[in-house]
Structure 1
Amino acid sequence: MSHSHPELGTPGPLAENGLRVTPFGGLGDVGRNMTLFEYAGRLLIVDCGVLFPEDHHPGVDLILPDWSSIRDRLDAVEGLVLTHGHEDHIGATPFLLRERPDIPLIGSQLTLALLDSKLREHRLRETIHHQVKEGDKLTLGPFELEFVAVNHSIPDALAVAIRTGAGLVLHTGDFKMDQLPLDGRITDLRAFARLADEGVDLFLVDSTNAEAPGFTPAERKITPVIDQVFRESQQRIIVACFASHVHRVQQVLDAAYAHERQVAYVGRSMVRNMAIARDLGYLKVPPNTLVEAKQLADLPPQHQVLISTGSQGEPMSALSRIAQRNHNFVHIEEGDTVLLASSLIPGNENAVYRVINGLSRWGARVVHKGNAMVHVSGHASAGELLYCYNIVAPRNVMPVHGEIRHLLANGTLARETGVENVVIAEDGMVVDLVDGVASVAGKVDCGYVFVDGSSVGDITESDLKDRRILGEEGFISVIVVVDSVTGKVSSGPEIHARGNTFEDADFEEIKPAIVDALDRAIAEGNTDAYQLQQTVRRVIGRWVSSAHRRRPMIIPVVIEA
C-alpha cells in the first residue's frame, strides 16, 4: 500500500468508459474537502470546503481548494453535491460560484439553508438548488446519484452513490455510526448493503478518526455530564461549541430548561445557524428558554446560560474576547462555569489552552474534554469502519478526509477486511477507475489558495515566508544616494530597523563597508540600481548574520541623483 509517487506526471487522456477521480482538497489535511469526478467529458464535484489557517499562515483568513486545473472546463460541471453543512465542506462554494454562478447545488434541506445564508453574504442570490433527502435519486448528465442517510455531528448529512458506465462509486462524506443519535437518524447500513449487492466498484471513506480504536461513543453519553455541570454550577454557565453543532446546542437548551435557566447565543455565526436550524425544525427550543444576549444580563447569574462560538481558541471569537475581558457585555466573574463542548482540532491546542488559562485566571471553572466527557467525535472510529468494509465489500477503496496518517490507517483497515486494491492518494493525484480497477494515473497542480481580505489567490507561499520572517526577525531598511555624475555615494547609508533589538547607532560600524562595496561595484561597471541594491543586501546581511546571529528582512534602496 505504497503512497509515494514522486515520479507522477500529467495524466494522459481518460480511457473510454473510464471514471476519473481527482481530490482538490481534504487528502493530507483536515479541511477544504473537494473531489472531482469526470466521466464522458462531463464533471461532477462533491463538496467545496475551506481550511482554517494556522500560526504559519500569518494574515490569511481562509484556505480554499485549488481547482485551477479545471478553471477552463467549469462549463462542463453538471453539479456540486454538498454532503453536509460544515464549513470544511461548503465554505468555498461562494468562491467557486463567482467563477460560474449557475452551477447546480445539490444538498439536504439544512445544508442548503446554511449555504444560502453564506451566499447572501457574498451577494450571490440567483443560484440553482436541488434539495434532496435520503432515498432520493437524481440524474445529472452521465451521473446517476442516489443519497443515503448518514449520522454526523450536524443533522441532515448524506452519503452519495454515483453510478456511471464505469461502475458504482460510494462516497460516505463525513459520518459515524451512532446507534442512539439524538435525532433518531442513523447511518443507513441497509442502503449500504443494498448497494453492496449491486457491487461497489470504488468506496471513498471518511478517514478522520481511523486511528482511534473501537467505536465512537454515542452523543447521548454527554447528556448526563452536561446535566451534572448544570446541577453543580452556582453562577453563570458559558458553553462554547461549533456554531453548527445543533445536537450539542439541543442538549444545552434541554439542560437549561430542566434547571430553570435562560439561554442566549453569542457570536454571529451561532445566532444565524441556530435560527436556521430552529426555523426548519432541526432544533426544538423549550418554551421561555431563549432570550437576547443583552437581556440575559438582567437575570441573576444562577439563571444565565450563554452559548458561544470560539471553542477552538479563534482570536476574534466571542470566547477569546470574554477570556481577555474585552467582550462588549459579557464579563467573566469568579465562580462562573465555562464548558468547552468540542474536540481540539489538531494545531489549535495552544490557542485553546491560552483561552482556558485566561478564563481560569478570572476565577472561572473550565470543563473541557481533558477533564470531562463533554464531546464525542463526529467521525467513525476503526471498529465502525471495519463494519462498513465488511458490509460494502468494495472492489477498490480510496480513503479520503484526513492527514496522511489517517488515510494510511484507514487503508490498513480496508486491507484487513480483504480489500485487495487500496489507493492512497493526496490532493491533486488523479485516480482512474477503468475496467473495475482503480489506479493512480498522474498528478495535476494543486496547491493552497489563500484568501487574504478581499484578495483570493494573490498571496503565495513566498509572501507567507516573507511575513513569517517579518514576524520573527523584523526588517532593516538601508537608503543610499549615489551621484550619477561621479558614481560616488553622496548621501547615506541611512539605516533603520523595526521589529528587532537593533538601535540606529548599532549600524555605524557597518556603514563604511557598505560605501566601500558600492564604490567597488560602480568601479567595476555595475551601475544598475538593482545590482547595487543586491550589493548592499549582501554586505549588511553577512554582518547581521555573523555579528548578531539574526536574519531579518533587508530592504535596500539605492537612489541615483
Structure 2
Amino acid sequence: MTKTKITFLGGLDRIGKNMFVAESHDSAVIVDCGMAFPDDEMYGVSTVIPSFEYIRKIKPKVKAVFLTHGHEDHIGALGYLYREFNFPLYATSLTLALADSKFSGTQKKNLQTHAAVPAQVYEFGDIKIEPFAVCHSIPESLGLIIETPDARIVHTGDFKLDPKPLDGRLTDLRRLRSLGNVDLLLCDSTNADQEGWTVSENDVAKTFDKLFQKISGRIVIASFSSNILRMQHVLNVAQKYGRRVAILGRSMENNFKIARDSGYITCPENTVAAIEQMHSLPENKVVVLTTGSQGERMSALTQMAGRRYDKMRLKKEDTVIISASPIPGNEKDINETINNLYRIGVRVLYDQVKEIHASGHACAEEIKELIKAVKPRFFAPVHGEYKHLYSNILNGQKVGLRRNNSFLLQNGDQLEIGKNFCKITGHVYAEPVLLDGNYGADPRETVFHERHQLSRGGVALVTCALSKGSLVCEPLITGSGFLYRKEKEQFLPLMQERVGEILREAKGDQRAKEQKLTKELEKFTYEKLRRRTTVFVNIIDL
C-alpha cells in the first residue's frame, strides 16, 4: 500500500527556517526553504538555515520546491539549497521576484521557475498540489492542498482571516469548505496563543491617517521590508497630506522596486524622493520609511538612534513609529533602539499604541474558524515555538478535534498518513545549520562552546622559552578580555612566578608540560580572579 509521509525539517522549534517535505511512493515535493536569526549565544553566526541532509538522501524522488510566499523565513535559505540541487521552483510571480536575489548568477542560468496561481492543479509524479489564496502581510500568499493516492493534506501557509484586506485577497474558506475528506491539516500557529482576532490592515491604515493628521514634524516609520501592503499605506497617507517619502535600507529599497514593478505598489513619481532631498523640504512634508523595526545593528533606524547616521540626524521634534511586532529573540535589540531614541528626545510610538501594527498571522478565533471549515481527521500545528504549537492543539480541541488525533511535533519528525490513520513513524536528522562566514556549522561543534567560554573569562597566552628544562627568561603573558588595566601590574608577576613553580615540578615531554601549565594556570586565575579564563601555553625549547 502506498503511504504518504511528511518530514518536518524546520519551523517547529522557533519562528523561522520553515521547511517540510511531502513524500509519496515515488515522488517528493519540498515546501518552503526559510532562514532564521541566530540566538545571542551563537557567537559569529550570521544566519540559521535548515539541514539538507534528508534532501540528499531522497534527491532522486524530489520533483520540485513549492513556495507559499516571499518572507525570509520561507525563502531565505533557497540560495544555499540550490548550491547543491537544481529542482524546479514553483511560486507566484511576486514570490519568484522576491526570491530572485537569493540565487547567484550561475544558479539563475540553470533555474527552472514556474509561476503558480491559485485553483490550478500541479502534478509531480503521484503528488498533486493545488494552491489556494490566503490573506497574509505580503501579497500573493498561498496555502496548499496536497493530494496523494492515499491522503489529502491542507497546509494553511501563513494566514489570517482579515475581512477587509487592503489588496482584497481573502483567505479562500469557500474552497476549503468544499473539499471534504481532509486527512490532515497543517496549521499556522504563530498567534495561536492570542485570543480573539488579528487587527485588520484597514485599522492600521486608519491609525496612520489620524497620526499623520496630528504630527507636525518629520515622521520616521520602521517596518518589515517585506510588508509591501504597509509600504502602500505609508505612501497613500503621505500623498494625502502632501508629504514626500524617502525609503532607506537595501532590502526595503529592493522590495519597493519589485512590488512597484509587479503592480503591488502605486504612487505618483514625485511621492518618493532620495533622503538627501528631504533636507530642503519643510519638516511637515517629510516621511522616512526605513528598516530597523527589529533593532538590526546595521539598519538606518538603529544608526539614527545611536547618532551614527550622517544622512539624517534625529531631533526632539521628530516622531518615530515602529510598525512591527518583535520577532522572538529580538526584544533586547529593539528595546535598546527605543531607549536610544528616547535619549535623543524624539516621540516614539511602538506596540503600546493600539492598531499601529497588524500581524499577518491568525489569532485563536480565526484558527478555530479555519479548522471548522476544513474539518480534518488529524491536526498538526506548524510554524511556531513550542508554546504556539501547544496552544494550537488546545484551539483544535475547543472546536471538536480529538487530542489523540492531534500531533505536537518537533523538527525531524515524520508523520505517515493513510486512509483513516496518521502517526509519527520516524525521525530524521534536522539540527539547524549555523552559517559562520562561508562555513555551515553543526550547533554541536565545540567552537561555539569555546567562543562562549572566551566571552566569559577572556583568553591568556603564555609563552615560555626553555633550555634544558629551565626558563631562560620571564614567561611572556599576553591576552584579550583577560585582565583589567589596574590588575595587570599586580597579577602578571604573580602569574609569571606561578609558571616557574609549575615548570619546576612538571615532568614529561614538552606536550605534557604544556598540558600541566594550562590546567594549573586556569585553576590559578580562577582562585585569584574568580574568572574562568581560557589559557593557551606555548613552550619553545631552545
- SS of the equivalent of 1:63 reads strand
Instruction: State the distance in 1 between where 2:106 and 2:75 align.
Output: 13
Could you tell me whether the CA contact under 8 Å between 2:8 and 2:414 is conserved in 1? yes
Matches within 5 A, 1:263-342: 263-286=245-268, 288-342=270-324
Could you tell me whether the CA contact under 8 Å between 1:497 and 1:503 is conserved in 2? no
Superposition deviation, residue 124 in structure 1 = 3.7
Q: Rate the CA distance shift 1:494–1:158 in 2: closer, same or farther, 3 A.
A: same
Could you tell me whether the CA contact under 8 Å between 1:452 and 1:459 is conserved in 2? no
RMSD of the TM alignment (CA)? Answer: 1.9
Superposition deviation, residue 492 in structure 1 = 4.3
- Find the partner of 2:32 among 43, 47, 51: 47
Superposition deviation, residue 394 in structure 1 = 0.7
**Counterpart of 2:494?**
509
Count of residue pairs brought into register by the alignment: 537
**One-letter amino acid of the structure 1 residue matched with residue 324 of structure 2:** S
**Counterpart of 1:4?**
none
Most deviating of 269-278 and 355-364:
355-364
Most deviating of 62-71 and 24-33:
62-71
Instruction: State the distance in 2 between where 1:291 and 1:262 align.
Output: 7
- Find the partner of 2:450 among 449, 463, 466: 466
**Counterpart of 2:525?**
544
1:334-375, CA deviations, whole angstroms, 9 ceiling, x for partnerless residues?
A: 201111111111221221121112222222111111234210
Instruction: State the distance in 2 between where 1:42 and 1:77 align.
Output: 6
1:489-522, CA deviations, whole angstroms, 9 ceiling, x for partnerless residues?
A: 4444322232132416403224344334344342
**One-letter amino acid of the structure 2 residue matched with residue 273 of structure 1:** N
Superposition deviation, residue 537 in structure 1 = 1.6
- SS of the equivalent of 1:559 reads strand
Q: Rate the CA distance shift 1:43–1:504 in 2: closer, same or farther, 3 A.
A: farther
Could you tell me whether the CA contact under 8 Å between 2:199 and 2:358 is conserved in 1? yes
Superposition deviation, residue 271 in structure 1 = 0.7
**Counterpart of 1:99?**
84
**Counterpart of 2:99?**
115
**Counterpart of 1:154?**
138
Could you tell me whether the CA contact under 8 Å between 2:432 and 2:443 is conserved in 1? no
Matches within 5 A, 1:158-177: 158-177=142-161
Q: Rate the CA distance shift 1:415–1:56 in 2: closer, same or farther, 3 A.
A: same
Could you tell me whether the CA contact under 8 Å between 2:462 and 2:475 is conserved in 1? yes
- SS of the equivalent of 1:335 reads coil
Could you tell me whether the CA contact under 8 Å between 1:119 and 1:125 is conserved in 2? no
Superposition deviation, residue 122 in structure 1 = 8.3
**One-letter amino acid of the structure 1 residue matched with residue 408 of structure 2:** I
Matches within 5 A, 1:411-422: 411-420=393-402, 421-422=405-406
**2:120 corresponds to 1:136:** yes
- Find the partner of 2:214 among 203, 213, 232: 232
Superposition deviation, residue 121 in structure 1 = 7.3
- SS of the equivalent of 1:476 reads strand
**One-letter amino acid of the structure 2 residue matched with residue 108 of structure 1:** T
1:186-217, CA deviations, whole angstroms, 9 ceiling, x for partnerless residues?
A: 0000111122x2x1111111111000011112
In structure 2, runs of 5+ residues without a counterpart are: none
In structure 1, runs of 5+ residues without a counterpart are: 1-15
Q: Rate the CA distance shift 1:544–1:124 in 2: closer, same or farther, 3 A.
A: farther
Instruction: State the distance in 1 between where 2:260 and 2:489 align.
Output: 61
**Counterpart of 1:367?**
349
**One-letter amino acid of the structure 2 residue matched with residue 360 of structure 1:** Y
Q: Rate the CA distance shift 1:558–1:435 in 2: closer, same or farther, 3 A.
A: farther
**2:515 corresponds to 1:534:** yes
Instruction: State the distance in 1 between where 2:149 and 2:490 align.
Output: 75
Superposition deviation, residue 440 in structure 1 = 1.5
Instruction: State the distance in 2 between where 1:547 and 1:41 align.
Output: 66
Instruction: State the distance in 1 between where 2:525 and 2:94 align.
Output: 58
Superposition deviation, residue 442 in structure 1 = 2.4
**One-letter amino acid of the structure 2 residue matched with residue 450 of structure 1:** L
Superposition deviation, residue 481 in structure 1 = 3.0
Instruction: State the distance in 1 between where 2:143 and 2:24 align.
Output: 20
Superposition deviation, residue 106 in structure 1 = 0.8
Percent identical? 36
Most deviating of 112-121 and 362-371:
112-121
Most deviating of 352-361 and 208-217:
352-361
Could you tell me whether the CA contact under 8 Å between 1:36 and 1:45 is conserved in 2? yes
**One-letter amino acid of the structure 2 residue matched with residue 384 of structure 1:** E
Could you tell me whether the CA contact under 8 Å between 2:510 and 2:539 is conserved in 1? no
Superposition deviation, residue 110 in structure 1 = 0.9
- Find the partner of 2:407 among 407, 423, 434: 423
Q: Rate the CA distance shift 1:459–1:492 in 2: closer, same or farther, 3 A.
A: farther
**Counterpart of 1:61?**
46
**Counterpart of 1:13?**
none
Matches within 5 A, 1:344-493: 344-420=326-402, 421-457=405-441, 461-483=445-467, 486-493=468-475
**One-letter amino acid of the structure 1 residue matched with residue 41 of structure 2:** H
- SS of the equivalent of 2:137 reads coil
Instruction: State the distance in 2 between where 1:56 and 1:412 align.
Output: 32
Q: Rate the CA distance shift 1:53–1:216 in 2: closer, same or farther, 3 A.
A: same
Could you tell me whether the CA contact under 8 Å between 2:221 and 2:321 is conserved in 1? yes
Could you tell me whether the CA contact under 8 Å between 1:236 and 1:336 is conserved in 2? yes
**Counterpart of 2:72?**
87
Matches within 5 A, 1:251-266: 251-266=233-248
**One-letter amino acid of the structure 2 residue matched with residue 33 of structure 1:** N
Could you tell me whether the CA contact under 8 Å between 1:167 and 1:436 is conserved in 2? no
- SS of the equivalent of 2:220 reads strand
- SS of the equivalent of 2:393 reads helix
**Counterpart of 1:3?**
none
Could you tell me whether the CA contact under 8 Å between 2:27 and 2:124 is conserved in 1? no
- SS of the equivalent of 2:271 reads coil
Instruction: State the distance in 1 between where 2:381 and 2:204 align.
Output: 29
**Counterpart of 1:127?**
111
Q: Which structure 1 residue ranges, 4+ long, deviate > 6 Å from structure 2?
A: none
Most deviating of 468-477 and 321-330:
468-477
Could you tell me whether the CA contact under 8 Å between 2:26 and 2:126 is conserved in 1? no
